[in-house]
Copies of this chain bind each other. A is one copy, B any other.
């Protein structure tokens, strides 16, 4: 097998990827981020969780890294822009490179749909925690499904996690968790940023969660018959002007509910071996997706027995009694507590104050109304994916039991 080959053009192409020799010394006590693309040496993470960025921008005057906090880069003697950040909180963070005022995506890191646009992301490793990492356990699959929605007159995409053994245990039927992303994100959020497959693989392997399907679809559905002015619009990507303003979030919500109840659930129950009843169906989501989960489940309690919101609250309305909301679903606490097997709410202790308070106020209303629920505060994390990975790990361990 060890042949000496004279390579044709194709092989030359491959060799083009082997760059001319250049010995480079990397900063000690640092290594490339796990979110880097193949072979990218920067960004690097130090042992005290600072991030070192370094790249060329020969003619730029001002270069910054935007990691919510902005860090100014400095041009070194070799012409590379460099910066070492403060220590960054563990978990996954979106970031941008700002070059002379242009908000750019970094070619060196994996990209993610977030902030209503493509964005760079970096994973800061968490000490002694491996529940969302690839481990030597049986692995499920994440399946991409394309379907046409008659309600929205548009093609949609769903991702469906199937647990290990799904294709082998062909007599077995499974419960289903419907799981929403947040505002400015899409159906790729949980598979990519959320690491849903590793979290479920690990939980199931340890016997801490039942084998289940997880359906991740897009939390946006536009009614094609609504007047254009009544359609919702997300923000345009950074640096672009907005399209004409389009109010009408309520329309979006009811259309999404229609798509879920009339299209997605029937499709999943048809295409997969589900247990198609309320006792084996859960829904939760993060931030905007939490609000949507409460909206959809509380309007359809015949279809869901497990309900959650991660960094996302349900309705609260000034001047309207809490017990009157959601068609009065909270009015009879005993009935609700008997019917709903889990009501789950979470937030991060480092979330922006108003976000933290909104979830906390909702929790207090539930307390006052006598609605049983599980409430979790993720220590030290903000309105970010680590809060939501932790919440999912908990939530998935509490349902279908």
For A192-212 the 0/1 string (1 means CB < 8 A from B) is: 000001100000000000000
The minimal Cβ–Cβ distance linking A214 to chain B, given in whole angstroms, is 13
What is the chain B residue whose CB lies nearest that of A112?
Answer: B111
Asked whether any CB of chain B lies closer than 8 Å to the CB of A136, the reply is yes
Asked whether any CB of chain B lies closer than 8 Å to the CB of A129, the reply is no
Chain B residues with CB under 8 A of A21: 242, 244-245
CB pair B101 A109 closer than 8 Å: no
Q: Of the candidates B10, B118, B313, which one forms a contact with A288 in the assembled complex, judged by CB atoms under 8 Å apart?
A: B10
Chain B residues with CB under 8 A of A99: 57, 60, 99-100, 102, 104
CB pair A237 B113 closer than 8 Å: no
Q: In the complex, what distance in Å separates the CA atom of A246 from the CA atom of B39?
A: 12
Asked whether any CB of chain B lies closer than 8 Å to the CB of A243, the reply is yes
Q: Of the candidates B103, B233, B361, which one forms a contact with A8 in the assembled complex, judged by CB atoms under 8 Å apart?
A: B361
CB pair A272 B167 closer than 8 Å: yes
Q: In the complex, what distance in Å separates the CA atom of A245 from the CA atom of B108?
A: 19
**Copy total for this chain:** 2
CB pair B250 A5 closer than 8 Å: yes
Please report whether the interface of chain A is mostly helix, strand, loop or mixed according to DSSP: loop
Interface residues of A in 298-319 (CB under 8 A from B): 299, 312-313, 315-319
Q: List 14 A-B contacts (CB under 8 A).
A: A1-B299, A6-B320, A10-B358, A13-B182, A13-B288, A17-B183, A18-B245, A38-B234, A39-B116, A55-B102, A61-B100, A97-B102, A104-B105, A107-B237
Taking beta carbons and an 8 Å cutoff, which residues of A are in contact with B?
1-3, 5-6, 8-11, 13-24, 37-42, 54-63, 80, 96-97, 99-111, 113, 116-119, 134, 136, 139, 141-148, 155, 167, 170, 182-184, 186, 191, 197-198, 220, 232-247, 249-250, 254, 257, 271-272, 287-288, 290-291, 299, 312-313, 315-320, 354-355, 357-358, 361-362
